[in-house]
Amino acid sequence: MALSRRTEGIVVALGLPPTGLADKLGFRQHGFASFADLTEALRDHNQVVVVAAYPIVVRALATTLSSKDTDPAVVAIDEGMRFATVLAGAHHGGEQLARLVAHHLGATAVITTASSIYDTVALDQTPRVHFGHVPAGLQARINHGDGLVLVNPTDLFLPDAILALAHEGNNPLKVIISDRMRDESLGDLRATAPTLTVGVGCSSDATVTEIDELIETTLQNAGLDPYAIDRVATIDRRLNHPALLGLHRELIGFSADQLDAVETVHPSSVVYKSVGTHSVAEAAALLASGDGASLVVEKVKADRVTVAVARRQRLRGSLSVVGLGPGSLDLLTPRALGALRSAQFLVGFSRYLELIEPIVERAQVLRPYPIGQEIERVGEAIALASRGNHVALVTSGDPAVYAMAQLVIERLAEDLTLHIIPGVTAAYAASSKAGAIVGHDHAMISLSDLLTPWSAIEARVEAAAKADFVIAFYNPRSKQRTWQLEKALSIIAQYRQQSTPVLVATRVERSGATLTVTSLAEIDLETIDMETIVIIGATTTATNHGYLYTPRGYQPTPGHQGAP
Ligand code: SAH
């Protein structure tokens, strides 16, 4: 596969670029650009935001666009910053980019693709399935009210994301979901889902070309679609083999014992003697394909490689527990953004789903929850993922800090890929707004006694105070829990002076944010609610030029830089 030379995103303006936009998007920026700069930017980037009169942008695009599959996502903004219009790459992130830019600038996103206007499914954007080339005529039929029926000749358990394609209408389009090429003849259009696992066994001197060729010819001879390959399975001792890594596919490995426990068609005692299992390719393919798997191609052998193919009955779902950070979208990590983009279902507290609204795609399904009901949220997220969907369970801040990653791990089901995606936790977001109060050893303590007995919380507050930790209080005070913070502060006061700095930060990185630097003596409890984090300084916490900070454990001397 040829690697794209393009780098990520750029904001190009013929005049002054909009303040802060490039930073918020994580893009480069180029101001006072010439026409030549503009065409170069369009050629060299995956995502381009252009601030210029549209006719100029169109003229530059005319010389740079080549094909729908490789063109960058291009969003043009008029110089009045009123409209963010998708001009290219609509289905390659253009629509989302336009909405994100509009969100940051307070502008209107202009999106003109037919599927978004008619609010119909865009086949080439359907998650979990690959359509290859969708003839424009077929998409037009859908846009103009033709229905769609699904044909499922291999009896795949269809995940919700695929089932959602089906809809009523006249003269319905027949879409075949199958990894078998010949099933094309059953309807109008065939799509593949990631149903196939390729099991590979190889000797230590096998090359990537040998493996690749054997996979290709094996699938071809069996009439199977290579786009349906989900991943490659092998024995764990081969997981780091350069020839397997060179396939650039997701790999999974099993121990010899695990493999040997699988019943296969071609057990081999020669293989057993050398690696301790009677089968690698067949057993690994079956094991990696989950319950209900079937072998669709029995072991095929070349000199130094064996290949077998198994078909899953259910697609492999994934669950990402995503930390959104404190609120503002530019504190969302690129990895978190990627997980949100590839999810078909977004599950979470309604307020958090609202925070990410500008980046949600039309085809994504939101499952908002009221506050609380964490167990129900986790249960639904796992159930959706177990049915073969990609699911993102969103939390604010970091997903493990008084949030839901733990609950998910406790309730995890089989055969589901879990990703825990870290986020900027409230304490760090607040600390950095005021300086660096968390700058040395610190403790995070939740004052919520819903799940932890108050006596344990008190003991921890005391221990942290005694040990001179900076202390960040999460869940400090709610309408129902009014006395806990006061009590905690009185414990701390036994170990620290009344003048100890305290940071009170409410709605950090959200609209209506407030930040107060006060002290143990002067803290105003009435200003503190459930969207507030309270950070108590250590005995060394100080201010310099208005910044609150806790020095590292070394003594800075002039000219001494300290550890980085
Ligand atoms: N997982 C979250 C914390 C969830 S507990 C994280 O890592 O940040 C909820 C508590 O976190 C709130 O009561 C408040 O104390 C704190 N919090 C979360 N987001 C906040 C924000 N934007 N501003 C201030 N405090 C916040």
Of 162, 180, 191, 158, residue with least CA distance to 225: 180
Neighbouring CB atoms inside 10 A of 221's CB total 10
Instruction: Say how many Å lie between the CA of residue 416 and the centre of ligand 1.
Output: 29
58-106 tens-digit pLDDT: 999 999 998 877 889 999 999 899 999 999 987 778 888 999 999 999 9
Average pLDDT (130-139) is: 84
Instruction: Say how many Å lie between the CA of residue 533 and the centre of ligand 1.
Output: 6
Instruction: Say how many Å lie between the CA of residue 396 and the centre of ligand 1.
Output: 7
Could you tell me which residue, 188 or 91, shows the higher pLDDT? Answer: 188
Give 344-369 as a DSSP string.
Answer: SEEEEEHHHHHHTGGG--TTPEEEEE
Neighbouring CB atoms inside 10 A of 463's CB total 13
pLDDT at 1: 32
What residue owns the CA closest to ligand 1's atom 12? 475
Average pLDDT (524-532) is: 95
The structure tokens 């953004």 sit at: 337
Contacts of 532 (CB under 8 A, 6+ apart): 476, 477, 504, 505, 506, 507
What residue owns the CA closest to ligand 1's atom 2? 397
CA distance 174 to 159: 18
Instruction: Say how many Å lie between the CA of residue 408 and the centre of ligand 1.
Output: 19
Q: Best mutation site among 527, 532, 535 for ligand 1, i.e. most ligand atoms within 8 A of its Cβ? A: 532
Instruction: Say how many Å lie between the CA of residue 473 and the centre of ligand 1.
Output: 9
Sign of the alpha-carbon torsion through 523, 529, 531, 533? positive
Q: What percent of the chain has pLDDT over 90?
A: 79
As beta bridge partners, residue 366 has 346
Closest atom, ligand 1, to C-alpha of 475: 13
Q: Is the pLDDT of residue 558 over 80?
A: no
Closest atom, ligand 1, to C-alpha of 513: 23
pLDDT at 559: 47
What residue owns the CA closest to ligand 1's atom 13? 475
Amino acid identity for residue 200 in this structure: V
Q: Is the pLDDT of residue 342 over 50?
A: yes
Helix (H) or strand (E) holding 217: helix 208-222
Give 462-520 as a DSSP string.
Answer: HHHHHTT-EEEEES---SS--SHHHHHHHHHHTTS-TT-EEEEEESTTSTT-EEEEEET
pLDDT at 323: 98
Average pLDDT (158-171) is: 89
Helices 454-466, 484-493: axis angle to 10 degrees equals 30
Instruction: Say how many Å lie between the CA of residue 514 and the centre of ligand 1.
Output: 14
Q: Best mutation site among 425, 471, 479, 531 for ligand 1, i.e. most ligand atoms within 8 A of its Cβ? A: 531
Instruction: Say how many Å lie between the CA of residue 122 and the centre of ligand 1.
Output: 37
State the pLDDT confidence band at 354, using cuts at 50, 70 and 90. Answer: very high
H helix runs in 233-280, sequence order: 242-245, 256-260, 269-275
Instruction: Say how many Å lie between the CA of residue 399 and the centre of ligand 1.
Output: 11
Q: Using alpha carbons only, what angle is made at residue 497 by residues 493 and 502, rounded to the nearest 5 degrees?
A: 80
Closest atom, ligand 1, to C-alpha of 510: 22
Q: Say if strands 547-549 and 435-436 run parallel, antiparallel, or are unpaired.
A: parallel
Closest atom, ligand 1, to C-alpha of 476: 15
Instruction: Say how many Å lie between the CA of residue 294 and the centre of ligand 1.
Output: 47
What residue owns the CA closest to ligand 1's atom 9? 475
pLDDT at 70: 82
What residue owns the CA closest to ligand 1's atom 20? 426
What residue owns the CA closest to ligand 1's atom 4? 402
Q: Best mutation site among 477, 533, 534, 535 for ligand 1, i.e. most ligand atoms within 8 A of its Cβ? A: 533
Instruction: Say how many Å lie between the CA of residue 464 and the centre of ligand 1.
Output: 20
Q: Say if strands 501-506 and 532-536 run parallel, antiparallel, or are unpaired.
A: antiparallel
462-487 tens-digit pLDDT: 999 999 999 999 999 998 899 999 99
Q: Is the pLDDT of residue 555 over 70?
A: no
Mark residue 349 as left, alpha or beta (left: phi above 0; alpha: psi -120 to 50; beta: remaining): beta
Q: Which stretch of 175-189, 222-236, 512-526, 543-557 has the lowest confidence by average pLDDT?
A: 543-557
Q: What percent of the chain has pLDDT over 70?
A: 97
What residue owns the CA closest to ligand 1's atom 17? 426
State the pLDDT confidence band at 390, using cuts at 50, 70 and 90. Answer: very high
Phi then psi for 236, rounded to 5 degrees? -60, -30
Evaluate if pTM is beyond 0.75.
yes
Average pLDDT (440-445) is: 97
Q: Best mutation site among 396, 406, 449 for ligand 1, i.e. most ligand atoms within 8 A of its Cβ? A: 396
State the pLDDT confidence band at 6, using cuts at 50, 70 and 90. Answer: low
199-231 tens-digit pLDDT: 999 999 999 999 999 999 999 999 999 999 999
State the pLDDT confidence band at 561, using cuts at 50, 70 and 90. Answer: very low
Helix (H) or strand (E) holding 48: strand 45-51
Q: Is the pLDDT of residue 369 over 70?
A: yes
CA distance 295 to 197: 9
Instruction: Say how many Å lie between the CA of residue 297 and the centre of ligand 1.
Output: 52
Q: Which residues line ligand 1 (CB under 6 A)?
A: 326-327, 395-398, 401-403, 425-426, 474-476, 505-510, 530-533
Q: Using alpha carbons only, what angle is made at residue 369 by residues 364 and 373, rounded to the nearest 5 degrees?
A: 135
Q: Is the pLDDT of residue 196 over 50?
A: yes
State the pLDDT confidence band at 554, using cuts at 50, 70 and 90. Answer: low
Asked if residues 11 and 18 have their Cβ atoms less than 8 Å apart, the reply is yes
Closest atom, ligand 1, to C-alpha of 507: 23
Instruction: Say how many Å lie between the CA of residue 518 and the centre of ligand 1.
Output: 19
Average pLDDT (124-149) is: 85
Q: What is the mean pLDDT of the chain?
A: 92
Average pLDDT (103-124) is: 82
394-435 tens-digit pLDDT: 999 999 999 999 999 999 977 789 999 999 999 999 999 999
Instruction: Say how many Å lie between the CA of residue 220 and the centre of ligand 1.
Output: 53
CA distance 449 to 465: 19
Amino acid identity for residue 255 in this structure: S
Q: Is the pLDDT of residue 557 over 60?
A: no
Q: Is the pLDDT of residue 31 over 50?
A: yes
The structure tokens 């109008």 sit at: 188
Burial string for 470-508 (b: 16+ CB within 10 Å, else e) reads: bbbbbbbbeeebeebbeebbebbeeebeeebbbbbbbbb
307-341 tens-digit pLDDT: 999 999 999 999 999 999 999 999 999 999 999 98
What residue owns the CA closest to ligand 1's atom 5? 402
